[in-house]
Structure 1
Amino acid sequence: MADVLFYLSLILIWIMLLYHMFLMQGGFHHYLTYEKVLPEWTKQGKELPTVSILIPAHNEEVVIRQTLKAMVQLSYPKHLLEIIVINDNSSDGTGDIVQSFSEQYDHVHMIETKPPFAGKGKSTALNEGLKASTGEVICVYDADNMPEQKAVYHLVLGLLNDPKAGAVVGKFRVINAAKNLLTKFINIETICFQWMAQGGRWKWFGIATIPGTNFAIRRHILEELGGWDVHALAEDTELTIRVYNLGYVIRFFPAAITWEQEPETWKVWWRQRTRWARGNQYVVLKFLKQFMKLKRKRMIFDLFYFFFTYFLFFFGVLLSNGIFIVNLFVDLHLSVGAVALILWGLAFFLFLTEVMITLSIEKTELTKQNILIVALMYFTYSQVWIALVVYSLCVEAKSRLFKQEVKWYKTERYDQQQKKSG
């Protein structure tokens, strides 16, 4: 019996590894081809639409000044652009900083959330911002983001030239990647997400996920959908599925780049990633219940991918690790010793290979230091993720069982500026 369970766990792990190798190939191909459309798109000279940038901000005085400095330098016609900061129940100097920018720049505005909507989280703040906006296109950025000058222009260009695209998402990079070992882990994780999960799925399946920042969506789609789901901690993933179900696609266009902060301590990382994991678990359970009602079967595939990731894959890893640990103290009569070692060794090699190839896409990231960090990630960061997913499942189950109110955790910001690398 132990042998059967062990082989089952290895099958689950290898399915995920091979799938990500497949995604890596698609992401690399997308990297080689995505810019080829730019000359033709630019040459067509289509009339640019009005754009509203929504920036939800709750106690963001540490970062909001740098964010707004980047926003007012965007290469997009100012008469077609409005930047709306949603000051969501801030108790620090966020409002004063935003007000100073609004006095300097006519296209910068601030709105304040009012009870009963104040302090309820990102989705509620975005819905309030949507009501106050006028743009034909809505862009969303987090309050710690520094988009590159052409980021919004490239997002809009994607919408203008792809009528099937309901939303266009860009690429984000880690501005504090060099701070410590944790931020180096996150930097590698982020690059892999961009080019595997986003670039690879877009290349092979025409699927991408709306992230929490650096994306543009057609206003009429948001209005038809009724805005963001205020019960979703992963409001971006939840919105993704509803956009696809309307019959649109979401295009990944990495020419649009923003730089953002990431957690610098494990405590902040744990709380942020728990919110992410709980949010994605909520989305999976919400839409699997509506399985038969989904019109676009393409998203059913993606739902199963999320289900596999947050439930089956981590179950396989836990089962494998559990059998290994128990066998150290109790003889389970395993007959797969040599096979297990070979498969584990190959899994580690495959993990290294796919991450290294993905890192090579970003010109400055394939370094000797990063090779060592990736090897270390396999035995540390990846294992902590497993514990986090189990923890988040328990928290989400408790929340549903006792019908607790969903509480939004805002990630801590840091007063610093890092040199952009790559």
Structure 2
Amino acid sequence: MPRSAAAQDLDRPARAPRLGELLRAAGAVPPAAVDSALAARGIVPLGEALRRRGAVTGATIAGALAAQSRLPLADLEADPPDPVLSQGMDPRGLLRLGALPWRRQDGRLVIAIEGPDARARLLARRPALDGQVDFAVAERRAIEDAILALHGPALAEAARDRCPEAVSCRGWTRRSGAVLPVIALTLAAAALLAPLPRFLALLGWLALVNACTTALRAVALVESFRAGTDAPRRPPAGAPLPVISLLIPLFREDATLRQLIAALEASDYPRERLDAIFILEADDVATPIALARTRLPPWARVLTVPPDTLKTKPRAMNLALDFCRGDIVGIYDAEDRPEPDQLRRVAEHLAAAPPEVGCVQGYLDFYNPRQNWLARCFAVEYAIWFRVLLRGVQRLGMPLPLGGTTVFFRRRVLERVGAWDAHNVTEDADLGMRLARLGYRTEMVATTTYEEANCRPWPWVRQRSRWLKGYAMTWVTHMRAPVRLWRELGPAGFAGFQLLLLGGLTAYLATPLYWALWAGWLGFDLAVFASGPRWLWTAWFASMSLGQAVMAAVALRAVWARPRRHLIATVPLMFLYWPLGALAAWRAVTELFTRPFYWAKTDHGL
């Protein structure tokens, strides 16, 4: 005889209460806030959406999740995890799962999890654990803090060596660093034994670099007049916005912190889809004090990386990457002030772009270009690079050397290429090359971040020497296997790699020679001019003059827009600016042999 429907209903397990229902019933959050978060949550869990909006604390969410899943609540701060239980485990795997062995109770292992989803992820990977272990719900941040406290050294080591060794410069001192002195001594001996042929060969190389650079600038100049080159990609209507994790490395940045937070709070990106991580170094004293005096928004958190013999920005970001919660990972520097709609533009561009677009780069500009002459020259240089030249690089199919900020990655792509080389002091340029080698493209997005121009001569030289040192290390590292590099980048990419890295460094190093030759051409007696026919020298100086004329045209084009038009008067004086780059280049070459991994910190907020 069939059972009645009422009897069958009694056998069915009671439906677990929904999280919103529990929060409403407990009066932990206004019903309107729950309804609003439900309507906008999309790919973000309700509890996390409410927390990032500031409607409820993480502890309250953990308590509600424990009640929903009928599990006990674990307070990892008052009752820390037993360190023996997770010994030998992969901490990065624990972070991905959102789980950590907590303690043994009545002979059974209890695992702290961030919620029911974490239990499902864990049992999917380890089905044998089902019924063999118990679970307790803990706040997500508490789990992450406990993993970092227990496994800091292992996480630091993984961050240091995250980039594959074959494309990392961490073996510089035992490989490249030993080869370069031999090359330098060989060239010096050749110059002494046959000075004139070697000198003419050097001039030939410089002429080739100048010709290629002039061609690139001309293409970029033409490209800048094409309509639609800045047209943004538009995703399909109704496509949900993803979570964006922002990595913000800080070291002695107390002077600029509040301005950055204010700029991020002005963003129009939905708060429940923001995940900002302020990354601190263990020996930084000033920045934690400034953070303690600042009210952080609920979508931001602080991560202090464990101490290590290597202390670089890419090493800190490698460690923080495992703590990110977004599908897009972006980088900001401490002094940055991004435009309010920047994150939305980035998300929409990547949503509409094909999968091979693994990264987008925004424009960089300065908010203090009128401070002094050096600041104006720096602003002209940035405008040339970001407003004009990168278009030409992109148009010719060359790999883009990324900037250190306002660059955004698809997270899966970033993890696939090995993230950042923790030892490279120009980690952004290196990462741009590795992305291209694996078949990914970088595209420019028409959005601007304003930062502080480094406008004091010696700090400018120190910063530029770090950049050029990193360019040199990147060139040597990737040229270990030039045939493979050619195959992976293709002819145009390989040529661009040589021009952008080696060619740029060569041009800076040769600046004193340029000045000396121009002095001889203008009347000073130089014996070298007797070594060749007059027409040859005329042709050489004509090509140099053409290159400078194209450069001036590019500079004028870059600053012609109204916000930068006041910089037009600075363009004719740029020839006085480039010798600073020569000083930085020679300092960079010296540091390649003496302090290859030294990170020259740039002070901000001046």
Q: Under a length normalisation based on structure 1, what TM-score does the superposition of the two structures give?
A: 0.86
Give the aligned residue type for 2:383: I
Alignment correspondent of 1:243: 435
Alignment correspondent of 1:82: 275
Give the aligned residue type for 2:367: I
Alignment correspondent of 1:304: 498
CA distance in structure 2 between the partners assigned to 1:99 and 1:158 by the alignment: 36
Q: Are 2:550 and 1:355 equivalent residues in the alignment? A: no
Q: Given the superposition, is the C-alpha separation of residues 375 and 363 from structure 1 closer, same or farther in structure 2, using an over 3 Å criterion?
A: same
Alignment correspondent of 1:275: 466
Alignment correspondent of 2:300: 108
Give the 4+ runs in structure 1 shifted more than 6 A: none
Tell me if structure 2 keeps the 8 A contact 1:146–1:260.
Answer: yes
CA distance in structure 2 between the partners assigned to 1:277 and 1:341 by the alignment: 26
Alignment correspondent of 1:156: 347
Q: SS of 1:82's equivalent?
A: strand
1:288-299 paired onto structure 2 within 5 Å: 288-294=479-485, 296-298=488-490, 299=493
The more displaced of 199-208 and 181-190 is 199-208
CA distance in structure 2 between the partners assigned to 1:58 and 1:155 by the alignment: 27
CA distance in structure 1 between the partners assigned to 2:423 and 2:585 by the alignment: 19
Q: 2:604 aligns with which of 407, 413, 416?
A: 413
| Paired-residue identity, % | 19
1:11-410 paired onto structure 2 within 5 Å: 11-29=208-226, 32-38=227-233, 41=234, 44-89=237-282, 91-101=284-294, 103-116=295-308, 120-162=311-353, 163-205=355-397, 207-254=399-446, 256-294=447-485, 296-298=488-490, 299-314=493-508, 317-324=511-518, 328-332=524-528, 333=530, 335-336=533-534, 342-343=542-543, 345-360=545-560, 362-367=561-566, 370-378=567-575, 380-396=576-592, 398-399=593-594, 404=595, 406-410=597-601
Give the aligned residue type for 1:363: R
Q: Given the superposition, is the C-alpha separation of residues 35 and 304 from structure 1 closer, same or farther in structure 2, using an over 3 Å criterion?
A: closer
CA distance in structure 2 between the partners assigned to 1:345 and 1:297 by the alignment: 32
1:341, distance to aligned residue in structure 2 (A): 6.0
Q: SS of 2:444's equivalent?
A: strand
Give the aligned residue type for 1:55: I
CA distance in structure 1 between the partners assigned to 2:344 and 2:379 by the alignment: 25
1:211, distance to aligned residue in structure 2 (A): 1.1
Q: Given the superposition, is the C-alpha separation of residues 340 and 75 from structure 1 closer, same or farther in structure 2, using an over 3 Å criterion?
A: same
Alignment correspondent of 2:34: none
1:192, distance to aligned residue in structure 2 (A): 0.4
1:172, distance to aligned residue in structure 2 (A): 1.1
Q: Given the superposition, is the C-alpha separation of residues 151 and 206 from structure 1 closer, same or farther in structure 2, using an over 3 Å criterion?
A: farther
Structure number with bigger Rg: 2
Q: Which runs of 5+ in 1 are unaligned?
A: 416-422
Deviations 1:92-112 (A, max 9, x none): 4422333455x5521110111
CA distance in structure 2 between the partners assigned to 1:132 and 1:54 by the alignment: 10
1:204, distance to aligned residue in structure 2 (A): 3.2
Give the aligned residue type for 2:551: F
Give the aligned residue type for 1:357: R
Q: Given the superposition, is the C-alpha separation of residues 202 and 10 from structure 1 closer, same or farther in structure 2, using an over 3 Å criterion?
A: closer
CA distance in structure 1 between the partners assigned to 2:501 and 2:385 by the alignment: 17
Give the aligned residue type for 2:368: N
Tell me if structure 1 keeps the 8 A contact 2:384–2:555.
Answer: yes
1:174, distance to aligned residue in structure 2 (A): 0.6
Deviations 1:192-235 (A, max 9, x none): 01023322212332643321000110111222233211110000
Q: SS of 1:371's equivalent?
A: helix
CA distance in structure 1 between the partners assigned to 2:230 and 2:217 by the alignment: 23
CA distance in structure 1 between the partners assigned to 2:324 and 2:475 by the alignment: 31
CA distance in structure 2 between the partners assigned to 1:347 and 1:51 by the alignment: 42
1:315, distance to aligned residue in structure 2 (A): 5.9
**How many residues of Structure 1 are paired with residues of Structure 2 in the alignment?**
399
1:342, distance to aligned residue in structure 2 (A): 4.8
Q: Given the superposition, is the C-alpha separation of residues 63 and 239 from structure 1 closer, same or farther in structure 2, using an over 3 Å criterion?
A: same
The more displaced of 273-282 and 322-331 is 322-331
1:239, distance to aligned residue in structure 2 (A): 0.9
1:127, distance to aligned residue in structure 2 (A): 1.3
Q: SS of 2:241's equivalent?
A: coil
CA distance in structure 2 between the partners assigned to 1:363 and 1:134 by the alignment: 39
Tell me if structure 2 keeps the 8 A contact 1:70–1:147.
Answer: yes
Q: SS of 2:303's equivalent?
A: strand
Q: Given the superposition, is the C-alpha separation of residues 164 and 343 from structure 1 closer, same or farther in structure 2, using an over 3 Å criterion?
A: closer
Deviations 1:303-344 (A, max 9, x none): 212344235444665544444557834434264366566555
1:364, distance to aligned residue in structure 2 (A): 2.7
Give the aligned residue type for 2:409: I
1:345, distance to aligned residue in structure 2 (A): 4.5
1:394, distance to aligned residue in structure 2 (A): 2.7
Tell me if structure 2 keeps the 8 A contact 1:198–1:207.
Answer: no
Tell me if structure 1 keeps the 8 A contact 2:279–2:305.
Answer: yes
Q: SS of 1:196's equivalent?
A: helix
Q: Under a length normalisation based on structure 2, what TM-score does the superposition of the two structures give?
A: 0.61
1:51, distance to aligned residue in structure 2 (A): 1.2
Tell me if structure 2 keeps the 8 A contact 1:59–1:90.
Answer: no
Tell me if structure 1 keeps the 8 A contact 2:462–2:584.
Answer: no
CA distance in structure 2 between the partners assigned to 1:192 and 1:100 by the alignment: 39
Q: Given the superposition, is the C-alpha separation of residues 131 and 100 from structure 1 closer, same or farther in structure 2, using an over 3 Å criterion?
A: farther
Alignment correspondent of 1:419: none
Give the aligned residue type for 2:222: Q
Q: Given the superposition, is the C-alpha separation of residues 114 and 351 from structure 1 closer, same or farther in structure 2, using an over 3 Å criterion?
A: same
1:90, distance to aligned residue in structure 2 (A): 5.4
CA distance in structure 2 between the partners assigned to 1:279 and 1:96 by the alignment: 32
CA distance in structure 2 between the partners assigned to 1:4 and 1:243 by the alignment: 37
1:273, distance to aligned residue in structure 2 (A): 0.3
Deviations 1:88-141 (A, max 9, x none): 23544422333455x552111011112227x70101111122122111111110
Alignment correspondent of 1:420: none
Q: Given the superposition, is the C-alpha separation of residues 180 and 232 from structure 1 closer, same or farther in structure 2, using an over 3 Å criterion?
A: same
Give the aligned residue type for 1:411: T
Tell me if structure 2 keeps the 8 A contact 1:28–1:358.
Answer: no
Give the aligned residue type for 2:431: L
Alignment correspondent of 1:418: none
1:26, distance to aligned residue in structure 2 (A): 2.1
Q: Given the superposition, is the C-alpha separation of residues 185 and 73 from structure 1 closer, same or farther in structure 2, using an over 3 Å criterion?
A: same
